[in-house]
Amino acid sequence: DDLVGMDNLVANTAYLRAQQIDRTELRKQRLTMTLPKPRRCSAQQAAVGQKYESLCEQQPIGKKLFQQFLLASKPQYAAATMFLEELNKWSFAEDQTREKLQQHILTEFCQPASKCFISYLRGEAAEILHHLSNKNFDEEQMDKIREATKDFLKGKPFLEYLQSSFFYRFLQWKEFEKQKITDKYFYEFRTLGRGGFGEVCAVQVKHTGQMYACKKLNKRRLKKKGGERLALLEKQILEKINSLFIINLAYAYDNQTHLCLVMDLMNGGDLKFHIYNLGKRGIRMDRVIYYTAQITTGILHLHSMNIVYRDMKPENVLLDGKGQCRLSDLGLAVELPMDEKLTKAGTTGYMAPEILRQDIYEMVAARLPFKDFREKVQNDEVTRRTLEDKSEYFKRTSIVCVFNIRGEDPRKQAFFQSINLHRLEAGLVEPPWVPKSNVVYAKDTNEFKDVSEEVDIQLNHKDENFFQEFSTGAVSIQWQKEMIESGVFDELNSHQMNGQSCEPRWK
Ligand code: ADP
Ligand code: MG
Ligand code: MG
């Protein structure tokens, strides 16, 4: 028993230490790294497409390089991008900061005499700008000016960018992004949880130090249980989503034995663990409100993409190191065909208010409405209680019974009135509770031991083809974020500046 405890301690220490990695050490190791030359430029160019939104707004490296291009080319282009930055800050700011930013925007960008005057506006937008003052400076007016600015950038500036050395640099990064991913790309740390097809463990990207969680799906077990299609579906849905309230996928790859989904590391643990395994059972009300607001925002984001999440329960809500939560486990999610648009009414149907209410209940009461914690009851007994004891449940949930969702945005409920949703959506509301950085919020490693092996299953050519379809490597948006946040983006760009030129080759 002591030895088992020792194993766990060693695993925890290594895992916690990895999270406090010394980044200057990594920097030294990277000194010799350079960006690849884009192969077959025209093919690459066609592959990245020419969509402004994807190239200049959604992909983080694309956005950075487009901004760098704008700042370096013409004063009007520079003014436009700086103006958008400031407007964005203003939109999410509160109180005094907001007032200061408003004044700053008025004097720096809106006066014909100032250096950064946004003189490219035409028509209605120019008219609004002309009459803009402290009195009528509001979201509606600024939205119009923001849109007009984007329309301006989508035109000539965008076309010039596509011909510039900055875009050539972007293609180099896209080439780098396509690298093959294997086990060697990561260090592996302790197991954090167990799923139906294998374990979830912590991993770290060797050259950036970025921590992730790796969900491993045993290939033979997938085949045996007919789970292959579902695994691919989970991967395809995950890679489409880019939300602060849903687990993001960073890499999908495979090795001899497993398919691997590399996702955001949620080192704060799952809500089930928080409700039942940490001292006093249940969660404080301010936390319940905060988590429910984030979960609801995540669900609405999925609905806006026509995706239905069907696995709502505390163990699938995970906390990150800052104390923000995300929905995980999209294995049961389905994407509806676009022509079956989720209408407002349809959304209500899928919102399943009783499930949300049940979750809130469990967070507060640390038990299910119709089943006590650790109570052993048959399923049909739970069903009976659910049907017959309903009034008892509603009496107990008097706080949350107000939670009646009828067509409108569920977050308009009085339940959420203490939260600024606009700021919450941008991840700017401080969490009411922050995990300790020296605690591992997971059960001991020995509780996840799995010895079973599917020896009777043989994998064939068809399986291999399927595994290849799954193993697409880095997911653009997440990978680019990792490059920027780890400093690799700035580093490699400056290596490039000192070394070879970066002239467009396809001209
Ligand atoms: P399954 O689909 O088989 O249920 P899950 O995706 O729910 O698998 O993962 C199983 C468990 O692993 C979760 O309940 C959670 O405790 C842990 N886990 C999953 N994803 C992460 C993550 N991104 N970060 C930390 N722990 C995770
Ligand atoms: Mg699960
Ligand atoms: Mg699942």
Average pLDDT over residues 126-137: 92
- Regarding predicted confidence, which is higher, 339 or 158? 158
pLDDT band at residue 384 under the 50/70/90 scheme: confident
Output the CA 342–ligand 1 centroid distance in Å. 28
CA distance 309 to 291: 17
Residue 329 Cα: closest atom of ligand 1: 6
**230 has a pLDDT exceeding 50:** yes
**402 has a pLDDT exceeding 60:** no
CA distance 203 to 187: 6
CA distance 218 to 357: 35
pLDDT band at residue 327 under the 50/70/90 scheme: very high
Instruction: Give the per-residue pLDDT at 41.
Output: 62
Secondary structure class of 198 (helix, strand, coil): strand
pLDDT band at residue 77 under the 50/70/90 scheme: very high
The predicted-structure confidence for 414-426, as pLDDT tens digits, reads as follows 888 889 999 999 9
What is the pTM (predicted TM-score) of this model? 0.89
| Percent of the chain with pLDDT strictly greater than 70 | 88
- Regarding predicted confidence, which is higher, 392 or 323? 323
The predicted-structure confidence for 290-304, as pLDDT tens digits, reads as follows 999 999 999 989 988
Buried b (16+ CB within 10 A) or exposed e, 7-46: ebeebbeebbebbeeeeeebeeeeeeeebeebeebeebbe
> For residue 253, what are the β-bridge partners?
260
The pick from 211, 247, 328 for probing ligand 1's pocket by mutation, whose C-beta has the most ligand atoms within 8 angstroms, reads: 328
Task: Please enumerate, by residue number, every residue annotated as part of a binding site for ATP.
Answer: 215
pLDDT band at residue 411 under the 50/70/90 scheme: confident
**360 has a pLDDT exceeding 50:** yes
Output the CA 329–ligand 1 centroid distance in Å. 7
Residue nearest (by alpha carbon) to ligand 1 atom 3 = 195
Secondary structure class of 313 (helix, strand, coil): coil
DSSP for residue 57:
I
Residue nearest (by alpha carbon) to ligand 1 atom 24 = 266
**262 has a pLDDT exceeding 70:** yes
Output the CA 416–ligand 2 centroid distance in Å. 27
**56 has a pLDDT exceeding 60:** yes
| Percent of the chain with pLDDT strictly greater than 90 | 63
Ligand nearest to the CA of 202: 1
Ligand nearest to the CA of 197: 1
Instruction: Give the per-residue pLDDT at 180.
Output: 96
Instruction: Give the per-residue pLDDT at 401.
Output: 38
Output the CA 216–ligand 2 centroid distance in Å. 13
Instruction: Give the per-residue pLDDT at 341.
Output: 59
**In the structure, which protein residues have their CB atom closer than 6 angstroms to any atom of ligand 1?**
192-197, 200, 213, 215, 247, 263-266, 270, 315-316, 318, 328-329, 331
Residue 198 Cα: closest atom of ligand 1: 3
Residue nearest (by alpha carbon) to ligand 1 atom 18 = 193
Q: Would residue 183 show up in a list of annotated catalytic residues for this protein?
A: no
pLDDT band at residue 346 under the 50/70/90 scheme: very low
Tell me: ipTM over 0.90.
yes
